[in-house]
Amino acid sequence: MDENKKKKKQKRHKRKDHSFYIIQGVILLAFLAVIFLFVKSDYAGGIFSLRREALEAVENSTIEDMQGQRVGTIYDADGGIIAELKNERNIRYLTSEEIPQTVKDAFVSIEDKRFYKHNGVDFFALTRAVTKLINKDAITQGGSTITQQLARNVFLTHEVSWQRKVKEMFIAWELEKKYTKDEILEFYVNNIFYANNCYGIESASQKYFGKTISECSISEVAFLCAIPNSPSRFDPLENKENTLERRDVILDAMYDNDKISKEEYEAALAETITVDSHSTTYEQSWAKSYVIHCVVEEMMAADGFEFQYDFEQVTDREDYEELYDEKFAEYREKLYLSGYQIYTSIEPEQQTALQNAIDVKLEEYNTKNTNGSYALQCAATCIDNETGLVTAIVGGRSQEDVSYDYNRAYLSSRPPGSAIKPLVVYTPLLERGYTANSIVNDTKDPEGPKNSNGQYSGNISLRTAVEKSKNTVAWAKFNELGAETAMQYLLEMEFTDIMPQDYTGSSALGGFTRGASTLEMSAAYTTLANGGVYRRPTCIIRVEDSYGNVVFEPKAEEKQVYEASAAEAMTDILEGVMTNGTAKGQGLERMPSAGKTGTTNENKDGWFAGYTPYYTTSIWVGYDSPRWLKGLTGSAYPAEIWHNFMEEIHTGLPVKNFGE
């Protein structure tokens, strides 16, 4: 041991005084007292029950369970396989012999210094953590051992309760009886989450460095070992600086524990870390990412997470979004460990038809972004009006060797243009005594918007104002309703990106700060098709565990957002848009249809949202980085894609009128 290190350790010992040991003794006595009280109280039965459950869980576990190799499967409506979750989980399993010693040293040094000495639970570490907390010192190592963390990841949730913690301890004890230390460390290194769909350190090394873990330097190993402590906070692609800070803490711990020399320590600290995303192969399925989104949110809701859509302050939204992202990552990780069998409403023929309609219509636009993806993009969502379930969802154009993780259909919010008018202006007006024949004034207000064609018709019927998409009328009537009243309808239908800045007249024309997704627009127009009744969209029919037991079976809760008479009257007016208005010629040949076009300023976004008695589909076309495109209007590409897709999926269906 070098002199500097000796002095460093000597100074630490000098700082310790008798109070440290007194506090440790008090804590230990308190702990023993708590154990005594538990035994003497009504909690004893619960404790013994948790003990039995832990014994059974470990006894029934297999090597495959510990290795995290349970395969989850997603099925379409016909029983075909959409995807296996094991593939997306992106695990590259290493045996104990294949895991570099530096990886083991790093995790033991930072997570569990006494790993090779305790029997699963380290009471000394618990005491030390509490002591540091009392003394307001920095806690560099928590009280949970590596074995406890493994128990939590494999057998339990991240619920905060004394029952979960006690059961975690019991499981850890049993694991130490059944498996060797090397096996436990192997399971741990391979099971934990390294952000961005990476499980196992080999997967992480390939993802962020493009090489195997055996090729990584000490600094790179410590960098990767930093991630699992908080995969969101230490995400190398999003928060590299945080990851580097955690790396330095790990290197300190490795040096203090004599796992690396002074020269290795200093070289590792000085090393520049270069990170990039090296994933090159993807399963080509937009539906898969949406299915995962739905299941994870169901898991969150089942455990009591409360989804929010309305915020008084920007900081409230920011806090919520941070919590949402954290919880989503946590439950997404749990999903990939679950082996769930997921049955969905995705219709494979509709999925193919929707993708083809998009690809064919946009095939002449071949300009690509720097990442190789097409610059001009499209998103679309189809919902079955009767069930409220999503039957097809497409997040972009077909393309090989391009990630399908960013599904624009539900992840991308874009200003919806005039497609929003029926939702925030006209249906609310119909609830307040207006009819299709009510006279409204189409004149230019000095403070208001102009019509897209620059023409004004004076007194016209409300029906005509909708059919011709008169901006002047929508703006005036939105202000008559009041922004709070109008925007509340969208919040009731769970639009996630309504911002405080959106409570202005520009929202009457869909000029939102962020916007809406095709999933949200389809769900809203399905509400009109269903007499004003809203159902949160999903594609999940049921989820079973790997043994066939039903985990959850979502039941759509219905909410009356619009009065039935108003929704029916709006449908009648929107039928006119297809025959006399901005979408003339895009109606279906044999089936009644209703819909609305939308175009944003400078032709940056084109929208069409429409429905029949059977299905509702919304289409968005535009660039990921908004810019002008000649000829991009809601009545052009979006409406034509909608028409071609809807004609195909309605082939052979009996003619049905709205309201039947």
What average pLDDT does range 368-379 have in this prediction? 92
* Angstrom distances, CA of residue 472 to CA of 449, 481, 503, 575: 6, 14, 17, 21
**pLDDT recorded at residue 18:** 55
**pLDDT recorded at residue 13:** 44
What average pLDDT does range 500-509 have in this prediction? 95
CATH class of the domain at 3-270: mainly alpha
Binned at pLDDT 50, 70 and 90, residue 160 comes out as low
Flag whether the pTM goes above 0.85.
no
Cα 202 to Cα 215: distance, rounded to the nearest angstrom: 10
Share of the chain above pLDDT 70, in %: 86
Q: What is the mean pLDDT of the chain?
A: 88
**pLDDT recorded at residue 280:** 44
pLDDT surpasses 80 at 3: no
**pLDDT recorded at residue 233:** 92
**pLDDT recorded at residue 421:** 98
| Pairing state between β 341-344 and 73-75 | parallel
pLDDT surpasses 50 at 135: no
pLDDT surpasses 60 at 129: no
Contact yes or no for 471/452 (Cβ under 8 A): yes
- How far is residue 117 CA from its own chain's centroid? 40
Which residue in the block uniquely carries the two structure tokens 């296996």?
84
What average pLDDT does range 11-16 have in this prediction? 45
Binned at pLDDT 50, 70 and 90, residue 606 comes out as very high
Cα 503 to Cα 279: distance, rounded to the nearest angstrom: 41
Residue spans per domain, the chain: 3-270
Query: Encoding tokens for residue 478?
Result: 């939105």
More confident: 142 or 124: 124
